[in-house]
Amino acid sequence: MTPAVRVLAFDIFGTTVDWYTGVARQAADVFGHLGVQLDAGTFTSEWRAKYLPSMARVRRHERDWAYLDTLHRESLDELLLEHGVDDSVDEASRQRLVDAWHRLPAWDDSVAGLRRLREHHVLAALSNGGFALMTNLVKAADLPFDCILSAELAHAYKPDARVYRTAAGLLDVRPDEVLMVAAHGWDLEGAAAAGLRTAFVERPREKGPDRQADRAADVKADLHATDFLDLAGKLGV
């Protein structure tokens, strides 16, 4: 790969942390406490399924830019109505559910892989999560990033090119000196369109036991890796 990659930008939800397990566990707690009969795993999948459409409305300028927390809350309210449990989930519980996305477990290889990569590159978290959400999540999971970047800084959402270009601009590098690392084809397509390099990391358990995560064979990227340690090896560090 030439020119040299100077910055590695990591997607977070699904790529660096396990949102499915983390949110499902916290949702099971909340529902158990309230006596609400909802399967936490199914609920988590359905909630996440509303994520891309909710951001797409921002990208298509059908609404103003809004925090991911706001989008999560709106889709949570919708989902609770759809399941007929709107009356059973109080305000504090809804807040706890939205906050579940602020505290998620890292994949087993994430910390060790990032630590190895950080000796050779600048590592940035580049997520659609807001700056505060991302700072709290990275701190709680003890992820060794050099800086937090967020779609919030561009007031846009990935895969909008402005998110990737704002990240490169803030780090004072050219887009093709940034390698975007993600477990999602749509994110890497957006990054490539903005002029970044791309690395796909396969996270087969990302969507839980019953849904198919993006597969290496289906995703076009400059590099493919099985986890962050494999990525370090493929980058020769």
Site for its own copies, rule CB under 8 A: 122, 130-133, 135-136, 138-139, 146-148, 152-153, 170-173
Contact predicate 178/192, CB 8 Å: no
Q: Among residues 28 and 173, whose Cβ is nearest to its own copies?
A: 173
Nearest to its own copies of 34, 171 (CB atom): 171
Q: Is 61 exposed, middle or buried (0-12, 13-18, 19+ CB in 10 A)?
A: exposed
C-alpha 97/C-alpha 102 separation (Å) is 10
Q: How far is the CB of 4 from its own copies (least distance, A)?
A: 16
Residue number, 122 or 232, with CB nearest to its own copies: 122
Min dist. Cβ of residue 171 to its own copies (A): 5
Report in angstroms how near the CB of residue 132 gets to its own copies at its nearest.
4
Q: How far is the CB of 160 from its own copies (least distance, A)?
A: 19
130 vs 190 by CB, closer to its own copies: 130
Asked whether the CA dihedral 220, 223, 226, 228 is positive or negative, the reply is: negative
**Minimum separation from the CB atom of position 122 to its own copies (A):** 6
CB-nearer residue toward its own copies: 153 or 161: 153
Long-range CB contacts (within 8 A, 24+) of 79-82: 79/43, 79/46, 79/47, 79/50
